[in-house]
């Protein structure tokens, strides 16, 4: 099986490439807008420079390799940046997806596209795949628009929706809640963390496994691929402090109203993952197990 991955330099992209290369019989094409940043230790794969906002490039690269499966991990995911840079967000999160659809149609490739819990308004959770979307910010609107393009297309497709991805990777360009809490507490900094938002945080390795299982089975439709523990960011911060034996008195409980952010956040999302468990055999780590995975990776870094 030949699998092409977009956004291979990102957190999910890196985990996915590493996982795919560990599986027998998979030919891997890693693509990213900038030069290849993956560690040489990952093994043998082909790299192609690809800016997915360039329609000509998308068609050219995907036609060249004619992959069985395209896994799209590339997106603008900084929620506040999406709110203030709507045109750039639309180009990457919506227009680029239309180009991928066109290319997959030309090569008969199965498209696995990563989406988000932020397509929902957060009035309740956890949610299953049949919940009606109603985004409260532009990031959510852009990801929903991409889903709608895919659902209306003539290609073979699957959408992997996820929630609050965390993990560490080589040459990371962005942090995440676990690393921020750990680094802040190690530096003796007081931090304010919200306790009125609920999520099912997802270890990057688990999301990579979910995408791989979808690709392997060429499963179609929408799948919730997230963690299984419903937690607030404050819960996550306390668990992180306890696990790494850091001073949790520096963590102060607050609520979303105390922050002035350009983009509104859905208060309560989180996913029910029964469908992925049943159809794909997907079984994520618990949050505590995820912290252990991170600790082991930090010790190797």
pLDDT digits (tens, 9 = 90+) for 8-21: 999 999 999 999 99
- Report the pLDDT value the prediction gives residue 43, as an integer from 0 to 100: 87
Share of the chain above pLDDT 70, in %: 99
- The beta-carbon contacts of 35-42 under 8 Å, at least 24 apart in sequence, are 36/8, 36/9, 37/9, 37/170, 37/171, 38/8, 38/9, 38/14, 38/170, 39/170, 42/17, 42/18
Interatomic CA distance for residues 267 and 281, integer angstroms: 29
Confidence of residue 175 (pLDDT cuts 50, 70, 90): confident
Report CA torsion sign: 109, 111, 112, 113: positive
Confidence of residue 169 (pLDDT cuts 50, 70, 90): confident
* Class level of CATH domain 2-170+201-228+271-286: alpha beta
pLDDT in tens, 232-248: 999 999 999 999 999 99
- Whether pLDDT at 173 is above 70: no
pTM above the 0.75 mark?
yes
Interatomic CA distance for residues 78 and 217, integer angstroms: 31
- Report the pLDDT value the prediction gives residue 26, as an integer from 0 to 100: 97
Stretch 55-67: mean pLDDT, rounded? 98
User: Which three-class secondary structure string do you get for the chain?
Assistant: CEEEEECCCCHHHHHHHHHHHHCCCCEEEEEECCCCCCCHHHCCCEEEECCCCCHHHHHHHHHHHCCCEEEECCCCCCHHHHHHCHHHHHHHHHHHHHHHHHHHHHHCCEEEEEEEHHHCCCECCCECCCCCCCCCCHHHHHHHHHHHHHHHCCCCEEEEEECCEECCCCCCCCCCHHHHHHHHHHCCCCEEEECCCEECCEEHHHHHHHHHHHHHHCCCEEEECCCCCCECHHHHHHHHHHHCCCCHHHEEEECHHHCCCCCCCCCECCECCHHHHHHHCCCCCCHHHHHHHHHHHHHHC
CB neighbourhood size of 283 (10 A): 12
- Whether pLDDT at 64 is above 70: yes
Interatomic CA distance for residues 160 and 284, integer angstroms: 14
- Rg (Cα) of the chain, in Å, rounded? 19
Pick the range with the lowest mean pLDDT from 21-30, 174-183, 249-258: 174-183
Domain positions in the chain: 2-170+201-228+271-286
- What's the whole-number average pLDDT of the chain? 96
- Whether pLDDT at 182 is above 80: yes
pLDDT in tens, 201-228: 999 999 999 999 999 999 999 999 999 9
- Whether pLDDT at 117 is above 70: yes
- Report the pLDDT value the prediction gives residue 139, as an integer from 0 to 100: 98
Stretch 85-110: mean pLDDT, rounded? 98
User: 């990371």: which residue's tokens?
Assistant: 172
Report CA torsion sign: 70, 155, 213, 119: positive
- Whether pLDDT at 278 is above 80: yes
- Report the pLDDT value the prediction gives residue 41, as an integer from 0 to 100: 84
Contact criterion met (CB below 8 Å) for 210 and 176: no
Stretch 110-128: mean pLDDT, rounded? 98
- Whether pLDDT at 250 is above 90: yes
pLDDT in tens, 139-167: 999 999 999 999 999 999 999 999 999 99
């Amino acid at each position: 099986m030949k699998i092409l991955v977009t956004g291979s330099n990102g957190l999910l992209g890196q985990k996915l490439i590493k996982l795919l290369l560990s599986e027998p019989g998979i030919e891997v094409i890693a693509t990213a807008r900038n030069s290849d940043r993956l560690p040489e230790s990952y093994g043998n794969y082909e790299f192609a420079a690809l800016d997915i906002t360039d329609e000509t490039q998308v068609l050219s690269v995907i036609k060249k390799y004619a992959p069985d499966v395209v896994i799209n991990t590339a997106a603008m995911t900084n929620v506040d940046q999406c709110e203030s840079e709507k045109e750039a967000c639309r180009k990457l999160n919506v227009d680029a997806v239309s180009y991928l659809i066109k290319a997959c149609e030309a090569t008969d490739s199965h498209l696995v596209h990563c989406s988000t819990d932020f397509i929902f308004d957060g009035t309740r959770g956890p949610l299953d795949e049949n919940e009606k979307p109603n985004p409260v910010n532009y990031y959510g609107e852009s990801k929903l628009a991409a889903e709608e393009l895919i659902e209306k297309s003539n290609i073979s497709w699957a959408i992997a929706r996820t929630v609050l991805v965390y993990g560490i990777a080589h040459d990371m360009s962005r942090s995440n809640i676990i690393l921020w809490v750990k680094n802040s507490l190690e530096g003796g900094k007081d931090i304010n963390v919200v306790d009125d938002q609920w999520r099912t945080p997802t270890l990057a390795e688990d999301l990579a496994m979910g995408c791989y299982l979808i690709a392997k089975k060429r499963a179609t439709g929408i799948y919730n691929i997230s963690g299984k523990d419903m937690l607030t960011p404050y819960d996550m911060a306390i668990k992180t402090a306890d696990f790494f034996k850091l001073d949790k008195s520096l963590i102060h409980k607050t609520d979303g109203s105390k922050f002035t952010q350009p983009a509104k956040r859905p208060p309560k999302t989180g996913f029910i993952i029964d469908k992925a468990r049943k159809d794909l055999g997907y079984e994520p780590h618990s949050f505590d197990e995820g912290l252990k995975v991170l600790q082991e990776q930090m010790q190797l870094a």
